[in-house]
Amino acid sequence: MTQKTFSIPGISCGHCVNAIKTELTELDGVSKVEGNIEGKSVEVEWDAPATEEMIKNKLTEINYPAV
């Protein structure tokens, strides 16, 4: 299992976090998504077939790109 915290400056409210959780948990292999509004970040845990690149691409696609 891989775990990483992604910095996402576009997070401003609970709706943002929920949108990110919904989209990322639909990716095969993503098992956990925890958002932090104050820290403007999300912690993601995943296994194959999900990859860091897939997660970053999904974040960009939904207008919450990781930096």
> Which residues of the chain are modeled with pLDDT < 50?
none
Class of domain 2-61: alpha beta
Q: At what angle do helices 14-25 and 52-61 cross, to 10 degrees?
A: 130
Check residue 65 and give its pLDDT: 98
Residue spans per domain, the chain: 2-61
Match 């993503």 to its residue by tokens.
30
- Record the pTM: 0.94
Check residue 5 and give its pLDDT: 98
d(CA 31, CA 50): 10
d(CA 54, CA 2): 13
